[in-house]
C-alpha cells in the first residue's frame, strides 16, 4: 500500500501552513528520521520527519505553496515491493485507494522530537468515525472529562497522544474557538483590494504580499477588537527605587567562567515580575473568561511582546510570580534570540493570562494595547523619563513612566482592574518585594 504524507498539525488551533520547501525529491529513498520538508506557520518554521521507510514517489503539493490545510495529502511514499513510477503516474487513483497515513514528526529546525510507534487500531463499527488515541491519552481525557473527538492528534496516523490532551486542557476550548472563529452577527464589509487601489496611482506603490504571520496578526486583532469589550486604565509609576535596585543587582551578579555576568536584569524583566505579583495579589483579575465559567489561575503566566523583523510574537513566562528576576531575565534573552529565528515552540508562545507590551525604548510616552485571546488583560508600558512631581509640598524631579492596562470587561470589572494596576504600581515603586519569593 502507498503511504500518504499529510500536512501535520503543529498545534490544536493550527488550520493551515505554508509548505516552504522540500528537502527530498521524487525518487529519493526515505528512511525513518529523514527530514522531508519544512513547514512554515505564522510563528515558526518546523521540520517534517518521516518515521516510515520507502521511496518518495510523488510530491502532491509543490514547494512554496501557501495555506495548505492540515491533514491534506502532500506526498506519497512507495513501500517495499511497490513501483514508484506506477504510483506516481496513478496518484489521483492512489488517493482513493486504501492506503495508510505516513506518520510524521514535527520538530523545531534545531531539535527533533521523537514520536511513539503507531498503534494498531481495532475495526470500527460501520458509520462510526475511527479515533486513534494512546491508552495514556484516553486515561487523561477521561479523568479531565475531555471529549477526545474534539482533540487534534499530532502522533503517528493522526493519533492522539499525551501532549495533545495536555495542550487541549491548557487551552480552554471556548476561548480558543472564539479566538479563531469569525465574529457573529453582521459586520461592515471591508474594502476590496481593487477598491483600495483606486485611491492611489498605479506607479506610486510597490505591492508586497502578506506572509502568514501578517495574515494571522490581522485576523486575530480584528477578532479581538470585535469580540472583546476593552476598557483602559492608566497610572504613573516612579522608577527611582527600581532603577537603583536594578543597578545593585546587576553589579553583584556572579561571573561565569568566561567572565560574563550570569544574568543582566532589565527594567522590562522587573515589569514582568511586578505584573505577575500583582495578578496573584488580586485573584479576581488573574482569570480567563469562558462562556460557561471563569478560570481563576493559581499562578501568573505572563506573555511578553517581542518585535521581530516580520511581525510580533508573545512568548510566555510560565508561573512568573514564582521565578527569581535572574530566571526571568535569562528566559527572556533566550526567547528573544530564538523568536528572531522562528525557533520558538508552540507551547512557548501560546496561552498566558496577561501580557506586557513595552514601547518605552522607542520614546513612546503612553499607548493602549489590544488584548490577545485567551488573555484577559495587557499592560502597555511607556518610556521612563524625568518629570517634575510634587512631594511633601515641594516640586522635585523623579523618573516616572506611564502604564496603561487594557482589560476584558467580560472577565474584569472596573474596580478590579483599578485594584490590579494599583498593585502593579506598588510593586514597581517598592521593588524589594520582588526579591521575596
Residue 254 makes CB contacts below 8 A (sequence gap 6+) with 261, 262
Q: Cα(366)–Cα(382) distance, rounded to whole angstroms?
A: 5
User: For 59, how many CA atoms within 13 A lie in the half-sphere containing its CB?
Assistant: 16
User: For 392, how many CA atoms within 13 A lie in the half-sphere containing its CB?
Assistant: 2
C-alpha cell of residue 321: 510570580
C-alpha cell of residue 126: 460501520
Q: Cα(314)–Cα(303) distance, rounded to whole angstroms?
A: 6
Q: Cα(125)–Cα(131) distance, rounded to whole angstroms?
A: 12
**Count of other CB atoms within 10 angstroms of residue 53:** 15
For residues 22 and 34, the answer to whether their CB atoms sit within 8 Å is: no
Beta bridge partners of 55: 29, 78
For residues 411 and 288, the answer to whether their CB atoms sit within 8 Å is: yes
C-alpha cell of residue 244: 537603583
DSSP label at residue 182: P
The dihedral formed by the CA atoms of 388, 359, 406 and 320, expressed in degrees to the nearest 10: -100
- 274-290 b/e with 16+ CB inside 10 Å = b? bbbbbbbbbeebbbbbb
C-alpha cell of residue 381: 508600558
Q: Cα(235)–Cα(269) distance, rounded to whole angstroms?
A: 19
For residues 235 and 290, the answer to whether their CB atoms sit within 8 Å is: no
Of the candidates 284, 297, 224, 278, the one whose C-alpha atom is nearest the C-alpha of residue 413 is 284
CA distances from 197 to 191, 194, 206, 212, 217 (A): 10, 5, 11, 22, 22
Q: What is the DSSP string of 242-280?
A: HHHHHHHHHHTPPB-TTS-BS----HHHHHHHHHHHHHH
Indicate which residues carry an active-site annotation.
409
Q: Cα(53)–Cα(73) distance, rounded to whole angstroms?
A: 17
Amino acid at each position: 500500500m502507498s503511504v500518504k504524507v499529510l500536512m501535520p498539525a503543529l498545534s490544536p488551533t493550527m488550520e493551515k501552513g505554508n509548505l516552504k520547501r522540500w528537502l527530498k525529491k521524487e525518487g529519493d529513498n526515505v528512511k525513518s528520521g529523514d527530514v522531508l520538508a519544512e513547514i512554515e506557520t505564522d510563528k515558526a518554521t518546523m521540520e517534517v520527519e518521516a518515521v516510515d521507510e520507502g521511496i518518495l514517489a510523488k510530491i502532491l503539493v509543490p514547494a512554496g505553496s501557501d495555506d495548505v490545510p492540515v491533514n491534506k495529502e502532500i506526498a506519497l511514499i512507495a513501500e517495499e515491493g511497490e513501483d514508484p513510477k506506477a504510483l506516481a503516474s496513478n496518484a489521483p487513483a492512489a488517493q482513493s485507494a486504501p492506503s495508510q497515513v505516513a506518520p510524521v514528526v514535527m520538530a523545531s529546525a534545531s531539535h527533533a522530537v521523537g514520536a511513539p510507534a503507531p498503534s494498531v487500531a481495532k475495526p470500527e463499527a460501520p458509520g462510526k468515525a475511527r479515533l486513534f488515541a494512546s491508552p495514556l491519552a484516553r486515561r487523561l481525557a477521561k479523568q479531565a472529562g475531555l471529549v477526545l473527538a474534539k482533540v487534534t492528534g499530532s502522533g503517528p496516523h493522526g493519533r492522539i497522544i499525551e501532549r495533545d490532551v495536555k495542550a487541549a486542557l491548557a487551552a480552554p476550548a471556548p476561548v480558543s474557538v472564539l479566538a479563531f472563529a469569525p465574529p457573529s452577527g453582521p459586520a461592515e464589509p471591508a474594502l476590496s483590494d481593487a477598491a483600495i487601489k483606486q485611491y492611489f496611482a498605479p506607479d506610486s506603490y510597490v505591492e508586497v504580499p502578506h506572509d502568514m504571520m501578517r495574515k494571522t496578526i490581522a485576523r486575530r486583532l480584528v477578532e479581538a477588537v470585535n469580540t472583546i469589550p476593552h476598557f483602559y486604565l492608566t497610572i504613573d509609576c516612579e522608577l527611582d527605587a527600581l532603577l537603583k535596585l536594578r543597578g545593585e543587582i546587576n553589579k553583584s551578579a556572579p561571573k561565569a567562567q568566561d567572565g560574563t555576568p550570569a544574568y543582566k536584569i532589565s527594567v522590562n524583566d522587573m515589569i514582568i515580575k511586578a505584573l505577575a505579583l500583582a495578578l496573584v495579589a488580586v485573584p479576581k483579575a488573574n482569570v480567563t473568561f469562558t462562556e460557561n465559567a471563569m478560570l481563576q489561575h493559581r499562578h501568573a503566566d505572563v506573555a511578553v511582546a517581542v518585535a521581530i523583523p516580520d511581525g510580533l510574537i508573545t512568548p510566555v513566562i510560565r508561573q512568573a510570580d514564582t521565578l527569581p528576576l535572574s530566571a526571568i531575565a535569562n528566559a527572556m534573552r533566550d526567547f528573544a534570540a530564538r523568536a528572531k529565528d522562528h525557533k520558538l515552540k508552540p507551547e512557548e508562545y501560546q496561552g498566558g493570562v496577561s501580557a506586557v507590551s513595552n514601547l518605552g525604548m522607542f520614546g513612546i510616552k503612553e499607548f493602549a494595547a489590544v488584548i490577545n485571546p485567551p488573555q484577559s488583560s495587557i499592560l502597555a508600558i511607556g518610556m521612563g523619563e524625568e518629570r517634575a512631581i510634587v512631594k511633601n509640598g515641594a516640586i522635585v524631579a523623579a523618573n516616572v513612566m506611564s502604564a496603561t492596562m487594557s482589560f476584558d470587561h467580560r472577565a474584569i470589572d472596573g474596580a478590579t482592574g483599578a485594584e490590579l494596576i494599583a498593585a502593579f504600581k506598588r510593586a514597581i515603586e517598592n521593588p524589594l518585594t520582588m526579591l521575596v519569593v
